[in-house]
C-alpha cells in the first residue's frame, strides 16, 4: 500500500562501481512538501542516490517510486523531477529568460503561457530585473537563482539540489540558507538536497538522512539527529560530541554504573529506553558541549554527574567561549559557555575545574 | 562527455540515435576511401590489357616487374630524397621549435601561427615560387650575377637539390609542431639541474633534452617522411628528368602508360612503406611512453 | 636561465625568413612591370588586368568556387554528424573510429587520387566536376570532424544532462544546445574545408574529367606551358585569399 503523502519512495537501492558498493541498500521515503536533505561526507553515495532519482544513473538493484509511479523504465527527460546542478550548468548561449523558458519550451507549452510562467519563476527567486542578461554577466548567487527558477518553472513533483550552496562564499551562504527555505515554502514543492555541510542541512531541512559509505545511518528531524544520535558517526558528524567509552559494572533500575579505563572513579548513566544494556556491555557516552557546565564548587546539583579536570585551552568566539578541558590522559572535552558578561575574563589555562552535566542529558550508545 | 540517457531494460536511446548521425559519415569514408584502397590492392595483382584496360587474370607479375633496376632506382631515390628532406627539416626545425618552446605562452601562439600560415596557402603556388627563384633567369641567379658572385647562371632548377628544397619548404611546419609539443613538455627544472651536472651545453643537449624530445622527433620525422615519400608536385615541377619519385611513377603508369595494374602495384608498395614506417615508429614510441608512466 | 643564445633567436628568424621569403618574393614580383621576371622594372598592375581578361581563367575560378561550396556543405553535414555522433559511442570504440577517420589525412594524396580514379572507372562513373566534388568532400570530412570534436571536448557535459532533465529528447538537446554551442567551430571548419578545397591539386588532378578545370589545375597547365608573370599575379591572389580565409577560420574556432 503506497503511502499517500509519500513523494519519493526508495527501496533497497544498490549501485556498484566496479567491486565497491557506492550505494548500499538504501531505503528512504520523502514526504510531500518537505525539505529533505541527504547529509554525509564525500564518497558517502548521496550524489549517486540523487542522480538515480533524476535518472542519470541506473540502479543495479532496488526501486524508485515517485508519486507512486515506478521510475524503472522512465528516462530522465520524462521524470517529474528537476535537478539543480552544483555548477548550475546554465546554457551560456541563452539569456536568463531563455534559460528559464527552456523546460516549458521542451514540453511544448504555448508561447504566452511560457512567458507568464517564466515571469512567475523569476519573481519567486527575485531576479526579474535580469531577464535579458546572459549567464556570463551574472554573479554566483544570481546564477544559482536562475538555476533554481529554471527548475521550478516546470512545477516538478520533486526538486533535487546537488550541493546548492557550496559554490557561494560564507556570507552569501548564510543568506541563501534562509532564502532557499522560503522559496521552498512559497513554491510548496518537495525539495531533496544533497550536502556535506551539517549546519546547512540542519538549518534548512525538515528531515535529514545521514549517509556514510553508501549506507543510511539515521533519518530524522534536525533536532532528532542532534539530540538523539543513534551512532557515534552521526553524533560526530552533526555538531561536536564529547565521548567516553566504558564498561557497565552494575545496573540499578533506571540507572547504571559505568567504569571507564580513561578515568578514575565511576560514572552514573541513565539507561537508554529502547536499547537493552547488560552488565559487561561496552557503552559510549555522548555529550554536547552546551550540555556541560563548568563549576568550581565542591558539590554538584541533584542529578548531576561530575568530573574533575583542568583547562587545556580557551577559545574566545565572541558569543561564547569554548574550553578544552582535560579530564584524563586521553580525554579532552569541549565545553561551551555563553559569554554572558562582556568584560569578564573567565577561566584561564591550567585552572582546575569540574565538568558537570545532568545525567539524563548524556546520550548512551551501545556497540 | 557522454550523452547519458540510461534506461534500464531498454536500449539506451541516446546511443542508438547517435548511429544515425555517425552512419552517413562512416559509410561515406568507408565507401570512398577504404573500399577503393582495397580495389587498388586487388588490381595490383591483375594484368594490363592491350589497350590499357584491365585483364582479370591474377599473378605477381607486376610486383616482379618492380624489381627491375629502372623501378628500383626510382624507389631507392624516393626513399633517399624523403630521408634527406626529413633530416634537413629536423636540423632546421629543431632550433626553431626549441626557441618557441622557451617563449612565453602569448608569444608561443603567435610564433606557431606564423609557422603554420604558409602551410595553409596553396602548395602549387609555393612550389611555383621556388621555380621563380631557382630558374636560370630566376631571382637567385639574377641576384648572384648582379653581385658579381658568379659569371654564368647556375643550374639550380630541375635537379634533386631543387626537389629537396621544395619538399623541405613544404613540410617544415610538420616537423616544427610536434617538436614544439614535445619540447614544451620538457620540465625546465630538469634542464637546469642538468646544467649543474654537465659542463658543456652539448652534453646537456645530448643527454637530457634530446632523449626527452624523442617522441616529438619521431612524430615530426614521420609527418615529414610520409608525404615526402609520396610527393608528386614537387618532383614534377622542380625535378629534372632524373628526379622521378614514386608519386610521379604512379601518375605516369596511370595516366600516361595506362598500365593500371602496375600503377596499383606501385601504390601498394608505397602503402606498405607508409604503413611500415608508422608501425615501426609506434613500436619505437610505446616503450618510452610506458616508461614515462612508470616513473 | 642559461645564456639565451642570441644565435637561437637568429636561427629562428632565419627559418621564418625561409618560410615567408618565397611567398613575399612572389607577391612582390607580381607587380613587376617587366615581362622578364627577375629584374625589377617598376610597379604595374598589368598582370592582374591580364588575369581578369582571361576567360578560361575566370571559368576555372568559377568551377573552383562551385566545387568548394558544394563539397564543403557535404563535408560539413557528414563531418559534424560524425563529430556529434561519436559522443554517444563508448570509450574504446570511440577512439578507434576517430583514429580510423584520420587515416585519409595521413596517407600521401597520390594514393587517394589514384584509388578514387580506379573506383570511378571500375564503376563506369565518368569523370567530371562532380567526381572532383566527391573527392574533395572525402578528404574534408576528417578535417571538419577534427575541428568540431576539439570544440565538443571543451563543452560542459552537464549541459546535456540539464537539457534532458528539463525534458529535452536527444534531438531537442542536439538542436537547441549542442549545435548552437558548436556554431563557431562549425563555421570555422567550413571555412577551413572551403580553403583546402580551393587549394587542392593532386586529388583534383586525378578525378577531373575533360573540361572540369579548377583554378589549381589551370595554374598547373599554365606553368607547364611556360613561365609568365600572370602566374605570379594569380599566385599572389591565391596566397592572400587563402591566408585571409584561414585567418577567419582560426578566429572563429577560437571564440
Contact C162 A91 (CB under 8 A): yes
C-alpha B295/C-alpha B134 separation (Å) is 51
Cross-strand bridge partners of residue A246: A283
Question: Quick one: cell of C35?
Answer: 615581362
Contact A58 B8 (CB under 8 A): yes
C-alpha B153/C-alpha B141 separation (Å) is 6
CB-based contact (8 Å) between C154 and chain B?
A: no
Helix, strand, coil content of chain A in percent (nearest 5): 25, 35, 35
> Taking an 8 Å Cβ-Cβ cutoff, which residues of chain B contact chain A?
4-10, 13
Chain C positions in Cβ-Cβ contact with residue B133 (cut-off 8 Å)? 22, 25
Inter-residue contact B36 to C118 (CB < 8 Å): yes
Probe site for chain A from B1, B6, B9 (most A CB atoms < 10 A)? B6
pLDDT above 90 (res C137): yes
Last residue of a domain, one of A237, A254, A275: A237
Q: How many CB pairs under 8 A join B and C?
A: 261
Cross-strand bridge partners of residue A24: A14
Burial of A280 (0-12, 13-18, 19+ CB in 10 A): exposed
Contact C26 B129 (CB under 8 A): yes
Helix spans in C154-228 (H): 157-165, 170-173, 179-199, 202-207, 215-224
Residues A223 and A306 in one domain: no
Residues 6+ apart with CB under 8 A from B147: none
The DSSP secondary-structure symbol of A329 reads S
Last residue of a domain, one of A186, A203, A237: A237
* 3-state helix/strand/coil string of B21-43: HHHHHHHHHHHHHHHHHHHHHHH
C-alpha C120/C-alpha C127 separation (Å) is 7
At residue A164, the 3 state secondary structure works out as coil
Subunits adjacent to chain A (3 or more Cβ pairs under 8 Å): B, C
Chain A residue whose CA is closest to C184? A93
At residue A309, the 3 state secondary structure works out as strand
| Mean pLDDT, residues C116-134 | 90
B239-245, long-range: CB < 8 A, 24+ apart: B239/B158, B239/B159, B239/B160, B239/B162, B239/B163, B240/B158, B240/B159, B240/B160, B241/B158, B242/B160, B243/B77, B243/B81, B243/B158, B243/B159, B243/B160, B243/B162, B243/B163, B244/B74, B244/B77, B245/B74, B245/B77, B245/B78, B245/B81, B245/B163
Q: By residue range, what is the domain housing residue A189?
A: 6-237
Rg (CA), chain C: 22
Instruction: Give the residue with greater pLDDT, B202 vs A79.
Output: A79
Contact A72 B8 (CB under 8 A): yes
At residue A23, the 3 state secondary structure works out as strand
Inter-residue contact C8 to B98 (CB < 8 Å): yes
At residue B102, the 3 state secondary structure works out as coil
Subunits adjacent to chain B (3 or more Cβ pairs under 8 Å): A, C
> How do the domains of chain C map onto residue ranges?
43-254
Contact B141 C38 (CB under 8 A): yes
| Mean pLDDT, residues C174-201 | 92
| Mean pLDDT, residues A75-81 | 90
**Residue in A76, A93, A105 closest to C165 by CB:** A76
Contact C243 B231 (CB under 8 A): no
Kindly indicate the confidence band of residue C38, based on its pLDDT and cuts at 50, 70 and 90.
Answer: low
Using a pLDDT cut of 70, give the percent of chain A over it. Answer: 96
pLDDT value at residue A364: 84
Contact A56 B6 (CB under 8 A): yes
C-alpha B156/C-alpha B96 separation (Å) is 26
C93-101, long-range: CB < 8 A, 24+ apart: C97/B22, C97/B26, C98/C145, C98/C149, C101/B25, C101/B29, C101/C141, C101/C142, C101/C145
For the domain spanning B60-294, the CATH number is 1.10.3720.10
Residues A229 and A276 in one domain: no
Contact C22 B117 (CB under 8 A): no
pLDDT above 90 (res A194): yes
**Residue in A92, A106, A150 closest to C168 by CB:** A106
C-alpha A266/C-alpha A271 separation (Å) is 15
**Number of Cβ within a 10 Å radius of residue A250:** 12
Residues A184 and A95 in one domain: yes
Instruction: Give the residue with greater pLDDT, A43 vs A342.
Output: A43
C-alpha A354/C-alpha A326 separation (Å) is 10
Residues A261 and A232 in one domain: no
Chain C positions in Cβ-Cβ contact with residue A99 (cut-off 8 Å)? none
Contact A89 C159 (CB under 8 A): yes
Instruction: Give the residue with greater pLDDT, A24 vs C37.
Output: A24
Inter-residue contact B176 to B115 (CB < 8 Å): yes
The domain that holds A132 is classified in CATH as 3.40.50.300
Overall residue count recorded for chain C in this entry: 255
Chain B positions in Cβ-Cβ contact with residue A85 (cut-off 8 Å)? none
Tell me which residue has cell 539515521.
A218
Probe site for chain B from C114, C142, C236 (most B CB atoms < 10 A)? C114
Fold of C43-254: MetI-like fold (1.10.3720)
At residue A13, the 3 state secondary structure works out as strand
Helix, strand, coil content of chain B in percent (nearest 5): 75, 0, 25
Contact A89 C158 (CB under 8 A): yes
> Taking an 8 Å Cβ-Cβ cutoff, which residues of chain A contact chain B?
55-59, 72-77
CB-based contact (8 Å) between C231 and chain B?
A: yes
C-alpha C196/C-alpha C192 separation (Å) is 6
C-alpha distance from C183 to closest chain A C-alpha (Å):
11
C-alpha distance from C9 to closest chain B C-alpha (Å):
7
pLDDT value at residue A340: 79
Q: How many domains does chain A have?
A: 2
**Residue in C111, C134, C170 closest to B13 by CB:** C170
Question: Quick one: cell of A132?
Answer: 535579458
pLDDT in tens, A311-330: 999 988 888 888 999 988 88
pLDDT value at residue B81: 93
C-alpha A108/C-alpha A111 separation (Å) is 9
- Whether A1 maps to a domain, the answer reads no
Inter-residue contact B143 to C36 (CB < 8 Å): no
C-alpha B254/C-alpha C205 separation (Å) is 12
| Mean pLDDT, residues C32-51 | 74
Phi, psi of B199 (to 5 degrees): -80, -50
Q: How many CB pairs under 8 A join A and C?
A: 59
Contact A103 C167 (CB under 8 A): yes
User: C230: number of CA atoms within 13 Å, CB side?
Assistant: 15
**Residue in B17, B29, B232 closest to C110 by CB:** B232
Contact B5 A77 (CB under 8 A): yes
User: B108: number of CA atoms within 13 Å, CB side?
Assistant: 14
C-alpha B22/C-alpha C83 separation (Å) is 8
Kindly indicate the confidence band of residue A92, based on its pLDDT and cuts at 50, 70 and 90.
Answer: very high
Instruction: Please list, residue by residue across A83-93, b when 16 or more beta carbons sit within 10 angstroms of its beta carbon and e when fewer do.
Output: bbbbebbbbee
pLDDT value at residue C146: 92
Residues A252 and A359 in one domain: yes
Q: What is the pLDDT along chain B (295 residues), one digit of tens a residue?
A: 334 443 333 334 566 778 888 889 899 999 999 999 999 988 888 887 766 667 777 778 888 888 888 888 899 999 999 999 999 999 999 888 888 888 888 888 888 888 888 888 888 888 988 888 888 777 788 788 888 877 777 788 888 889 999 999 999 999 998 988 888 887 778 777 877 777 677 777 777 788 888 888 888 999 899 999 988 999 999 987 888 899 999 988 888 888 888 888 899 999 888 888 888 877 776 665 554 554 4
Residues A297 and A200 in one domain: no
pLDDT value at residue C3: 47
Subunits adjacent to chain C (3 or more Cβ pairs under 8 Å): A, B
Contact A56 B4 (CB under 8 A): yes
Residues 6+ apart with CB under 8 A from B11: none
Residue C169, CA distances (Å) to A11, B74, C163 in order: 28, 59, 8
CB-based contact (8 Å) between C165 and chain A?
A: yes
Chain B residue whose CA is closest to A52? B6
Angle between helices C129-153 and B13-29 (to 10 degrees): 140
**Residue in C22, C107, C219 closest to B130 by CB:** C22
**Residue in C19, C77, C202 closest to B118 by CB:** C19
Strand boundaries in chain B, DSSP class E: 47-48, 54-55
Residue A191, CA distances (Å) to A11, A62, A159, A314, B202 in order: 19, 22, 5, 40, 68
Probe site for chain C from B12, B20, B37 (most C CB atoms < 10 A)? B37
Residues A203 and A251 in one domain: no
How confident is the prediction for chain B on average, in pLDDT?
A: 82
C-alpha B205/C-alpha A197 separation (Å) is 53
pLDDT above 90 (res A36): yes
pLDDT in tens, A232-279: 899 999 888 898 888 888 887 778 888 888 777 777 777 766 677 788
What is the value of pTM for the model shown? 0.82
Chain A residue whose CA is closest to B9? A73
Instruction: Give the residue with greater pLDDT, A131 vs C79.
Output: C79
Chain B residue whose CA is closest to C154? B1
**Residue in A76, A93, A150 closest to C164 by CB:** A76
pLDDT in tens, B14-71: 667 788 888 898 999 999 999 999 999 888 888 877 666 677 777 788 888 888 888 8
Contact B113 C250 (CB under 8 A): yes
Using a pLDDT cut of 90, give the percent of chain C over it. Answer: 36
Contact A75 B8 (CB under 8 A): no
Contact A102 C163 (CB under 8 A): yes
pLDDT above 70 (res A159): yes
Chain B residue whose CA is closest to C220? B124
Contact C19 B169 (CB under 8 A): yes
The DSSP secondary-structure symbol of B80 reads H
C-alpha distance from A82 to closest chain C C-alpha (Å):
6
Contact A92 C181 (CB under 8 A): yes
Chain C positions in Cβ-Cβ contact with residue B35 (cut-off 8 Å)? 119
C-alpha C168/C-alpha A266 separation (Å) is 66
Question: Quick one: cell of C146?
Answer: 577534427
**Number of Cβ within a 10 Å radius of residue A74:** 16
Using a pLDDT cut of 90, give the percent of chain A over it. Answer: 40
Last residue of a domain, one of A237, A258, A280: A237
Chain B residue whose CA is closest to C167? B5
Inter-residue contact A292 to A356 (CB < 8 Å): yes
Instruction: Give the residue with greater pLDDT, A147 vs C11.
Output: A147
At residue A284, the 3 state secondary structure works out as strand
Residues 6+ apart with CB under 8 A from A229: A218, A235, A238, A241, A286, A363, A365
Kindly indicate the confidence band of residue A149, based on its pLDDT and cuts at 50, 70 and 90.
Answer: very high
**Worst-scoring range by mean pLDDT, B75-89, C1-15, C183-197?**
C1-15
Amino acid at each position: 500500500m503506497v503511502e499517500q503523502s509519500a513523494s519519493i519512495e526508495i527501496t533497497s537501492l544498490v549501485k556498484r562501481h566496479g567491486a565497491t558498493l557506492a550505494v548500499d541498500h538504501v531505503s528512504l521515503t520523502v514526504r510531500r512538501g518537505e525539505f529533505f536533505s541527504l547529509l554525509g561526507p564525500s564518497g558517502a553515495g548521496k550524489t549517486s542516490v540523487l542522480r538515480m532519482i533524476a535518472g542519470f544513473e541506473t540502479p543495479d538493484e532496488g526501486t524508485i517510486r515517485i508519486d507512486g509511479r515506478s521510475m524503472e523504465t522512465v528516462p530522465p527527460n520524462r521524470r517529474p523531477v528537476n535537478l539543480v546542478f552544483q555548477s548550475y550548468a546554465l546554457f551560456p548561449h541563452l539569456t536568463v529568460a531563455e534559460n528559464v523558458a527552456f523546460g516549458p519550451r521542451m514540453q511544448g507549452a504555448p508561447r504566452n503561457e511560457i512567458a507568464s510562467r517564466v515571469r512567475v519563476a523569476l519573481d519567486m527567486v527575485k531576479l526579474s530585473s535580469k531577464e535579458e542578461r546572459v549567464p556570463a554577466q551574472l554573479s554566483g548567487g544570481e546564477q544559482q537563482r536562475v538555476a533554481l527558477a529554471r527548475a521550478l518553472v516546470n512545477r516538478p513533483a520533486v526538486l533535487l539540489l546537488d550541493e546548492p550552496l557550496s559554490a557561494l562564499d560564507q556570507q552569501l551562504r548564510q543568506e541563501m540558507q534562509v532564502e532557499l527555505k522560503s522559496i521552498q515554502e512559497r513554491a510548496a514543492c518537495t525539495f531533496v538536497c544533497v550536502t556535506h555541510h551539517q549546519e546547512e542541512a540542519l538549518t534548512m531541512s525538515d528531515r535529514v538522512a545521514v549517509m556514510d559509505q553508501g549506507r543510511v545511518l539515521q533519518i530524522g528531524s534536525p533536532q532528532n539527529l542532534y539530540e538523539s544520535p543513534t551512532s557515534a558517526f552521526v553524533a560526530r558528524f552533526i555538531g561536536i560530541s564529547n565521548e567516553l567509552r566504558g564498561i557497565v559494572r552494575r545496573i540499578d533500575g533506571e540507572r547504571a554504573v559505568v567504569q571507564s579505563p580513561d578515568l578514575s572513579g565511576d560514572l552514573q548513566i541513565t539507561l537508554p529506553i529502547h536499547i537493552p544494556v547488560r552488565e559487561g556491555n561496552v557503552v559510549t557516552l555522548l555529550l554536547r558541549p552546551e550540555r556541560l557546565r563548568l563549576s568550581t564548587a565542591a558539590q554538584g546539583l541533584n542529578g548531576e554527574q561530575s568530573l574533575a579536570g583542568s583547562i587545556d585551552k580557551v577559545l574566545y568566539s565572541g558569543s561564547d567561549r569554548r574550553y578544552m578541558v582535560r579530564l584524563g590522559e586521553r580525554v579532552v572535552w569541549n565545553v561551551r559557555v555563553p559569554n554572558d558578561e562582556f568584560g569578564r575574563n573567565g577561566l584561564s589555562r591550567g585552572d582546575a575545574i569540574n565538568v558537570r552535566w545532568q545525567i539524563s542529558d548524556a546520550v548512551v550508545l551501545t556497540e | 562527455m557522454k550523452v547519458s540517457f540510461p534506461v534500464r531494460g531498454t536500449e539506451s536511446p541516446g546511443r542508438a540515435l547517435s548511429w544515425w548521425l555517425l552512419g552517413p559519415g562512416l559509410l561515406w569514408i568507408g565507401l570512398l576511401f577504404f573500399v577503393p584502397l582495397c580495389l587498388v590492392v586487388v588490381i595490383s595483382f591483375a594484368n594490363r590489357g592491350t589497350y590499357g584496360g584491365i585483364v582479370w587474370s591474377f599473378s605477381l607479375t607486376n610486383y616482379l616487374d618492380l624489381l627491375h633496376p629502372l623501378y628500383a632506382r626510382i624507389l631507392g631515390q624516393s626513399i633517399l630524397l624523403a630521408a634527406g628532406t626529413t633530416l634537413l627539416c629536423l636540423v632546421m626545425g629543431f632550433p626553431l621549435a626549441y626557441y618557441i618552446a622557451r617563449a612565453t605562452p602569448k608569444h608561443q601562439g603567435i610564433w606557431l601561427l606564423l609557422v603554420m600560415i604558409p602551410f595553409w596557402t596553396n602548395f602549387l603556388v609555393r612550389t611555383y615560387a621556388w621555380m621563380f627563384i631557382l630558374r636560370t633567369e630566376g631571382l637567385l641567379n639574377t641576384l648572384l650575377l648582379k653581385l658579381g658572385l658568379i659569371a654564368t647562371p647556375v643550374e639550380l632548377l630541375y635537379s634533386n637539390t631543387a626537389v629537396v628544397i621544395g619538399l623541405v619548404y613544404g613540410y617544415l611546419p610538420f616537423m616544427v609542431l610536434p617538436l614544439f609539443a614535445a619540447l614544451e613538455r620538457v620540465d625546465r627544472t630538469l634542464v637546469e639541474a642538468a646544467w649543474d651536472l654537465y659542463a658543456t651545453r652539448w652534453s646537456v643537449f645530448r643527454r637530457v633534452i634530446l632523449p626527452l624530445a624523442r617522441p616529438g622527433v619521431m612524430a615530426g620525422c614521420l609527418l615529414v617522411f610520409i608525404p615526402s615519400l609520396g610527393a608528386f608536385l614537387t618532383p614534377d615541377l622542380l625535378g629534372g628528368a632524373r628526379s622521378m619519385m614514386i608519386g610521379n611513377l604512379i601518375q605516369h603508369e596511370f595516366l600516361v602508360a595506362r598500365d593500371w595494374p602496375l600503377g596499383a602495384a606501385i601504390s601498394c608498395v608505397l602503402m606498405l612503406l607508409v604503413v611500415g614506417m608508422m608501425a615501426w615508429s609506434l613500436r619505437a614510441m610505446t616503450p618510452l611512453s610506458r616508461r614515462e608512466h612508470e616513473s | 636561465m642559461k645564456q639565451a643564445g642570441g644565435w637561437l633567436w637568429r636561427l629562428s628568424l632565419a627559418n621564418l625568413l625561409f618560410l615567408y621569403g618565397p611567398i613575399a618574393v612572389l607577391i612582390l614580383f607580381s607587380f613587376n612591370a617587366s615581362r622578364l621576371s627577375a629584374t625589377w622594372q617598376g610597379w604595374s598592375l598589368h598582370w592582374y588586368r591580364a588575369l581578369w581578361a582571361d576567360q578560361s581563367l575566370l571559368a576555372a575560378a568559377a568551377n573552383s568556387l562551385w566545387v568548394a561550396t558544394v563539397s564543403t556543405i557535404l563535408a560539413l553535414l557528414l563531418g559534424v554528424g560524425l563529430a556529434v555522433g561519436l559522443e554517444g559511442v563508448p570509450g574504446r570504440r570511440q577512439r578507434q573510429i576517430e583514429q580510423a577517420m584520420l587515416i585519409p589525412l595521413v596517407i600521401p594524396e597520390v594514393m587517394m587520387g589514384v584509388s578514387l580514379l580506379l573506383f570511378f572507372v571500375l564503376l563506369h562513373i565518368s569523370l567530371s566536376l562532380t567526381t572532383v566534388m566527391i573527392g574533395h568532400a572525402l578528404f574534408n570530412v576528417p578535417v571538419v570532424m577534427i575541428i568540431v570534436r576539439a570544440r565538443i571536448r571543451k563543452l560542459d557535459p552537464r549541459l546535456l544532462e540539464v537539457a534532458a532533465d528539463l525534458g529535452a529528447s536527444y534531438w531537442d538537446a542536439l538542436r537547441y544546445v549542442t549545435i548552437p554551442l558548436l556554431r563557431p567551430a562549425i563555421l570555422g571548419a567550413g571555412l577551413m574545408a572551403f580553403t583546402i578545397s580551393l587549394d587542392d591539386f593532386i586529388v583534383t588532378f586525378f578525378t577531373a574529367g575533360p573540361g572540369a578545370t579548377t583554378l589549381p589545375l589551370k595554374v598547373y597547365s599554365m606553368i607547364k606551358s611556360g613561365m609568365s608573370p600572370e602566374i605570379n599575379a594569380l599566385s599572389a591572389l591565391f596566397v592572400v585569399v587563402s591566408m585571409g580565409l584561414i585567418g577567419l577560420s582560426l578566429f572563429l574556432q577560437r571564440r
